[in-house]
A and B are shown apart, each in its own frame.
Chain A
Amino acid sequence: MRVWKWPLVLATLTLFGLLAALLGQTEGWWIVSWLCLAVPLLAIARSLFGKRR
């Protein structure tokens, strides 16, 4: 299960972010959407440019 922890977290954030902007009735939900969808991009940036672990 260890291998699935982060993929599941990122998939959940992605789906929540996609639906937040679509179903949210206020602009606050847009900001929630942007933040959630930025997390997978940060994960990519960390893998590509982060310090070696």
Chain B
Amino acid sequence: MTVKGLRVWYQVHKWTSLVCTLFLLVLCITGLPLIFKDEIGILSGTTVVPPEMAPDTPEVGVDRMIEDARRRRPDDQVMYVSRSSDHPAWFVGMAKSVDAANPTAVFKYDARTAEMINDLPQGQGFMFVIRSLHVELLSGLPGTLFVGFIGLCFVASLVSGVVLYAPYMGRLKFGTVRKEGHKRRRWLDLHNMLGIVTTAWLLVVSLTGIINTLTIPLLSMWQRTELVAMTADWRGQPLVIHPSSTEQAVETARAAVPTMDVAFVGFPGGRFATPHHYMVFMRGKSALTARLLKPVLIDAVSGKITDSRTLPWYLTAILVAKPLHFGDYGGLPLKIIWTLLDLAAIGVLVSGLQLWFRRRATADADLERLAALS
């Protein structure tokens, strides 16, 4: 590679890294507890698991749970009900209005007894702050989009780092971290080793993170295009104040798509439905399909199914990207591996910062020497 080419890649690596390093440190550190959010929830008591019962214990209908939730918060409206993917439990989300952005209360019910087992704290607690920092830097949608921009800078930094790796390694053996000599050389060896070993994982986590930051804009796009097309015949109709049985909507959707189970039911007038319909999102029953959703539209007056489609590719991409970003899809050992790789990523960032602080005036001379070697 020519000196000019090397200098361009060096500048790309330097500036993209400088822009994103401090924010990435925040993301890496807040990402650590998020890997273990389920375990932390159980240990801290914010997650309550339904008690063990015989596996064939029958379940009761979700309407009883909705009635109970309405009794507990008579001034609120039900926004959605959702089914736990891990346990026989339902969640009922409530807010002041059905189209609110966030629920004011989420109750968890045992699906076999309709007993309320947990009142999930909303908008408070350690994990809420950690998640808000990680997802939106405590700044809402603009913060989320900024995190996406930081992710793009990091991808550019990774690519330029890989380009610079070969000339910097020269004749060194793979994985060499020289313990003697200048401290800066030691940090450079460490930076190169940690960076190149974790490159593939860092690329996957950063690309899936960028995809995750687009969730709200892409969901909004789907609502404005495909959902509008699905409900064109009901346009302009008033909100259904007293919708038909939710339990019946659940059973109708299950009968229509027997290979899948109910994941989420958006109530009429809510952000995930229409004024005239329940929106039931079905998920697959196998490990492979459990993350993929299929929307089923149920008329909230007649209780009959009106449409069902597969999600567009961009929303499927978001559903697949989530586990690949958070590492919560392969048991506790995968979470531990994720943690160690995250710590390695922090090592890449800290060693990169050290190189910046210990930068030498002879950087240009270094580049010419490296260009000659490569």
Contacts and interface: CB of A to CB of B under 8 A. Distances in A.
- B interface majority secondary structure: helix
B288 A23 contact: yes
A47 B201 contact: no
B287 interface: yes
A11 B204 CA distance: 11
A25 B286 contact: yes
B125 interface: no
A9 to B, nearest CB: 10
Contacts of A41: 337, 340-341, 344
Contacts of A6: 174-175
Interface in A11-52: 11-12, 14-15, 18, 21-25, 27, 30, 33-34, 37-38, 40-41, 43-44, 46-48, 52
Contact of A30 (B176, B198, B334, B340): B334
B330 interface: yes
A18 B341 CA distance: 12
Interface residues of B, number: 33
Given A23-B288, A43-B175, A47-B176, A7 B194 contact: no
B200 interface: yes
Contacts of B287: 24-25
Contacts of A33: 330, 334
A34 B337 contact: yes
B235 to A, nearest CB: 39
Contacts of B337: 34, 37-38, 41
A25 B173 CA distance: 39
Given A34-B337, A47-B177, A21 B197 contact: no
A18 B329 CA distance: 10
A48 B198 contact: no
Contacts of A12: 200
A44 B200 contact: no
A6 B89 CA distance: 47
A43 to B, nearest CB: 5
- A interface majority secondary structure: helix
B174 A5 contact: yes
Interface residues of A, number: 31
B52 to A, nearest CB: 21
B194 A44 contact: yes
B334 A44 contact: no
Contacts of B340: 41
B159 interface: no
Contacts of A52: 179
B199 interface: yes
A23 to B, nearest CB: 6
Nearest to A25: B287
A29 B166 CA distance: 34
A42 to B, nearest CB: 10
Given A37-B337, A43-B197, A48-B177, 19 more contacts: A3-B166, A7-B174, A7-B197, A11-B199, A14-B200, A14-B201, A15-B204, A21-B329, A21-B331, A30-B331, A33-B330, A37-B201, A40-B198, A44-B193, A44-B194, A44-B198, A47-B177, A47-B193, A53-B176
Interface of B: 165-166, 169, 173-177, 179, 193-194, 196-201, 204, 286-288, 320, 323-324, 329-331, 333-334, 337, 340-341, 344
11 contacts: A3-B166, A15-B200, A21-B330, A21-B334, A22-B320, A23-B288, A25-B288, A30-B330, A34-B331, A44-B198, A44-B344
